[in-house]
Amino acid sequence: MSSRSHGKGAGGGGGEGGGGGRGGWSAASAASVAASRCHLCPLPQSLNVPRGQPASTGGAPASDRALAASQNCECGCAWHRAQAGAKASEVAVAARGAPSTAIGGGGSKSHCTNKNATAAAAIFVCVCGLFQISTCTMYPHQILLAILAFISLSRVTNSEDVDAALRKQLKEVANLEMVQNASEIMNWRDLVLRSAIPYMRDCDEMFQAGHRESGLYIIRPDNARKLVVQCYMDGCNGWTVIQHNTHDTEITWSETWTTYKYGFGNLEADHWLGNEYISLITQQKWYKVRIRLVDADGNHKYAEYDSFVLQNEDNGYALKLGTYEGNAGDSLSNSRLKNMHDNMKFSCKNQDNDRSTLDNCANVHGGGWWYDNCFNAQLNRKGGLHWSTLCEENCRRSVIMLKPIHMYCTRV
């Protein structure tokens, strides 16, 4: 965080310090030091230097310049200005920086420079620039603002209630309540410091932008608020996780339409991202879905469909799947099975969109799903993960995740 913050200040600080146009604190001090040592410089043998002409290019004799150099003075010092009638008050004003040109910069005023003082000033400015401390060229009110910003950022990074502070900073994120530890969000600094431009629309865009580590990320899908998602980075793509469930899950999955709409659970564990967000994500691009399953014996299997779309709420968040591929079997779109989930609307305990004329399947069997009459697969349940071609209500784990189709990437 500090490098960004300071990175922004580096340009301004360095630029002003280098030009000296605003005559900051350090420049004034340097000039004062330089002026105090100018008595070491030799008196001129020739006094015909025009007013305002820098001594280094003026008429100071070579012998004077050599003597000046031997005494660690760079040019003609104050005697040029004194000779030209300059007043000491002008030097003082110049030192404060108000109307002056650069201190020691060869302008018409205050070109008196002692090498040591100039070097010290240069080192000071360089160090400030190196560490990007823009106070070098700040006025008091700017320094105060910088201190307040530093305190604010320090509180975010160093205080014991870092999570509470972060949540306050991240209040515009729609589903932050699904995150237990906000500091676990990989890119929270980007949002706090307003430096992520633009926000990525899914985990794959995060991956393509250089984020190689799996974890929580803030994204902003088209037409959606910012939201946190679990990203699985496989070394070639970024997968956006929309569901995670385990046999021993702590959540009931028996939720209302609104709860399913905006998501629930813990994004770092079992959760449903939310039908509205899933729908908005899948309308951005052409996505495929991968359903990873762990069967009752601990075997890892998967089912993929080369197209995955969740229609909008007006269409009941209906599921639209492409062609199956995998080793877990097709339990969602196989027309030879009793129930077909492809093309079905979403149902939950207070919204019956299934094809059972007798019941609301969600009430009978648990959580929300794209029920037919009623299911061949149901992964949104507590203690009964079912995939008829792999497990009979005893799968140990399921993960559903999306990634856009890439024609250039062969590794999956």
| CB 376, min distance to Ca ion, A | 17
Q: Given the complex with Ca ion, which of 175 and 360 has the nearer CB atom?
A: 360
| CB 348, min distance to Ca ion, A | 12
Q: Given the complex with Ca ion, which of 108 and 356 has the nearer CB atom?
A: 356
Q: Given the complex with Ca ion, which of 177 and 352 has the nearer CB atom?
A: 352
| CB 357, min distance to Ca ion, A | 6
Rg (CA), the chain: 35
| CB 201, min distance to Ca ion, A | 35
Q: Return the residue nearest Ca ion (CB atom).
A: 356
Q: Given the complex with Ca ion, which of 306 and 352 has the nearer CB atom?
A: 352
Q: Identify the bridge partners of residue 294 per DSSP, sorted by sequence position.
A: 300, 397
> In this structure, how many other beta carbons lie within 10 angstroms of the beta carbon of residue 284?
15
| CB 237, min distance to Ca ion, A | 38
Q: Given the complex with Ca ion, which of 261 and 365 has the nearer CB atom?
A: 365
| CB 320, min distance to Ca ion, A | 21
Number of residues this chain uses to bind Ca ion (CB under 5 A): 3
Q: How far apart are the C-alpha atoms of 202 and 227, rounded to whole Å?
A: 10
| CB 354, min distance to Ca ion, A | 4
Query: Judged by CB under 5 A, does residue 32 bind Ca ion?
Result: no
Which parts of 73-92 interact with Ca ion (CB under 5 A)?
A: none
Identify how many contiguous H helices and E strands the chain contains and give both numbers. Answer: 13, 13
**Which of 80, 91, 33 lies closest to 53, judged by CA?**
80
CA distances from 412 to 16, 146, 201, 236, 277 (A): 51, 47, 20, 7, 24
Which parts of 152-191 interact with Ca ion (CB under 5 A)?
A: none
Q: Given the complex with Ca ion, which of 181 and 256 has the nearer CB atom?
A: 256
CA distances from 353 to 312, 317, 336 (A): 14, 10, 22
Query: What are φ and ψ of residue 319, in 5° steps?
Result: -90, 130
Strand ranges (E), 188-318: 215-219, 227-233, 238-246, 264-265, 271-272, 287-294, 300-305, 308-310
Q: Given the complex with Ca ion, which of 255 and 354 has the nearer CB atom?
A: 354
Amino acid letter for position 223 = N
Query: Under a CB-based contact definition with an 8 Å cutoff, are residues 260 and 274 in contact?
Result: yes
| CB 373, min distance to Ca ion, A | 8
**CB contact set of 206 (below 8 Å; sequence gap of 6+):** 187, 200, 217, 219, 231, 233, 238
In the shown chain, the binding pattern of residues 318 to 357 toward Ca ion, with x for contact by CB under 5 A and - for none, equals ----------------------------------x-x-x-
Token pair, residue 152, equals: 């604010």
Q: Given the complex with Ca ion, which of 29 and 356 has the nearer CB atom?
A: 356
Residues that bind Ca ion (CB under 5 A): 352, 354, 356
